[in-house]
Structure 1
């Protein structure tokens, strides 16, 4: 099929329903809320006690079908993905999600939901390959009242073919590191990094520190905050060693650490200054800023006592 025919067939899926009258397999309940909060390290008192609410970001958890799935699912979404497979877009990556929370969910709420294929983009060329962005919208209700909206977007694409081999007189240019998504909630952090400052948010209500940056306090809910500059001392709280997948902007294997700063918050960053297989939990590290190209500076952590 030609590109115009494919585009028309893809557009015909917009507005089709992927789930009709779906039901949550469990009502909103305190055990699931507790497990979620423990996994996230979220100690907000709003999620415990007789007047508990569910963390808003749990929204999608109440609609998941588990291994057995949902009987309310239609064939529309599967047919759309099959059409993209037929067109050579056989790979998929989740790109982002957006959520809205009109009202809190509380233990005992029975969940119903409907999902619609909201949009299929025109053909796009990305670093991964050429394909189409598919967005679904799930409206989640409690007692018939809209409680949340979850938009989920994937890229279904044909993987990019390897570039032709270059001769010795044509060295392969270095790939640039991926850029962070800068928005109104985290712009101040990146402005600080550009000045070689690691800034931590501090609630002006309860004085709790938080990282990564958020629009409101996880402890008291206040939207007001200022910042403190991290001293730069930390320890490796946990870490992983990345071997795969290979990506030209990186040089595996390398260590990525969850660094606990002296101020008590944690940040994910590279551990440098020692071989990847010598990184250990509890290892003291020290903040430094590394320039990767003419635009990008990132905070990294060097093993304490190791020379730059």
Structure 2
């Protein structure tokens, strides 16, 4: 009998590309219906969690934040049931990958397009299609296939947005000392993923390299914002200046990561949403205490962690009760 706790081995043989390509263009969901109409309580909860105080999302005639697009059509912990419109082709594709040994899954990226604002009372329907299934790819997590679905979301028959979502179905690499041999003891430790640096956030990473945590301040209305964006979410102005944060904050929310294991990360570790003294919030690692001892409201102090020769990251040290932030 096989050991259910042993890590899965890589698939013994890859799937035929033409067999996977046959799923492209087939439906992943047909005539799905959101469980609830767009409603002000959910908008309020979202804005509180995101720290978004834009006046368009409150008041007597609010609109929903565009980035809530997927949230309205998610099934929740209990699932959609028959309202979700889940298509047989998508389940067959995932089952085929599971049986071939690609049993692990991780979301890799998503793209959204917004065509008009959503307002309370809008009832949403959606259809999804399997857009692409990649050939076998070799990643740091293991070998696997990228599966991309594209969802069209409508209200009263009119298209209001699209959501393209990509997952990796992969065979996890065995851990050292387990059922299959791991990397040699002298093999260099895998690097942590590199941040994506573009024209909108390059100034932030330049500040990190200089040992400064920089946040943006709108030049028109003085609104502080983080993460870095090309324009002000409050007044829309594209003009801004950079402000150096004090580094003091509190844990607003957190999660302790246990699974899935990623190369270069050693679970369990705590990831927190830290509310800075300046009022903005940012996500980062929490250090300085056991992950299980982190609590909401604990004070946190900025540090810069030199992860490797090419990567420096801002992290937050959780302070014990009575310590000065």
The alpha-carbon distance between structure 1 residues 33 and 234, as it changes in their structure 2 partners (threshold 3 A), is closer
Which of the numbers 88, 92, 107 marks the counterpart of 2:105? Answer: 92
- Give, in whole Å, the separation in 2 of the partners of 1:21 and 1:166: 47
The alpha-carbon distance between structure 1 residues 146 and 237, as it changes in their structure 2 partners (threshold 3 A), is closer
Query: Do 2:140 and 2:263's aligned partners in 1 also have CA atoms closer than 8 Å?
Result: no
Instruction: Out of 37-46 and 251-260, give the one that drifted further.
Output: 251-260
Residue 38 of structure 1: aligned partner:
48
Residue 231 of structure 2: aligned partner:
216
Q: TM-score, normalised by structure 1?
A: 0.85
- Give, in whole Å, the separation in 2 of the partners of 1:35 and 1:236: 18
Structure 2 residue 186 is matched with structure 1 residue 176: no
Instruction: Out of 176-185 and 71-80, give the one that drifted further.
Output: 176-185
How far does residue 243 in structure 1 lie from its aligned partner after superposition?
A: 5.5
The size of the alignment, in residue pairs, is: 303
Q: Secondary structure at the match of 1:76?
A: helix
Structure 2 residue 110 is matched with structure 1 residue 75: no
Which of the numbers 5, 9, 16 marks the counterpart of 2:19? Answer: 9
Query: Do 2:34 and 2:84's aligned partners in 1 also have CA atoms closer than 8 Å?
Result: no
Structure 2 residue 208 is matched with structure 1 residue 198: no
- Give, in whole Å, the separation in 2 of the partners of 1:81 and 1:211: 37
- Give, in whole Å, the separation in 2 of the partners of 1:261 and 1:85: 43
Structure 2 residue 302 is matched with structure 1 residue 292: no
Residue 126 of structure 2: aligned partner:
113
How far does residue 10 in structure 1 lie from its aligned partner after superposition?
A: 0.7
Which of the numbers 158, 162, 167 marks the counterpart of 1:154? Answer: 167
Unmatched tracts of structure 1, length 5 or more: none
Query: Do 2:51 and 2:281's aligned partners in 1 also have CA atoms closer than 8 Å?
Result: no
- Give, in whole Å, the separation in 2 of the partners of 1:214 and 1:274: 32
Q: TM-score, normalised by structure 2?
A: 0.81
Structure 2 residue 243 is matched with structure 1 residue 225: no
Q: Secondary structure at the match of 1:159?
A: coil
Unmatched tracts of structure 2, length 5 or more: 1-11
- Give, in whole Å, the separation in 1 of the partners of 2:161 and 2:122: 13
Q: Secondary structure at the match of 2:171?
A: strand
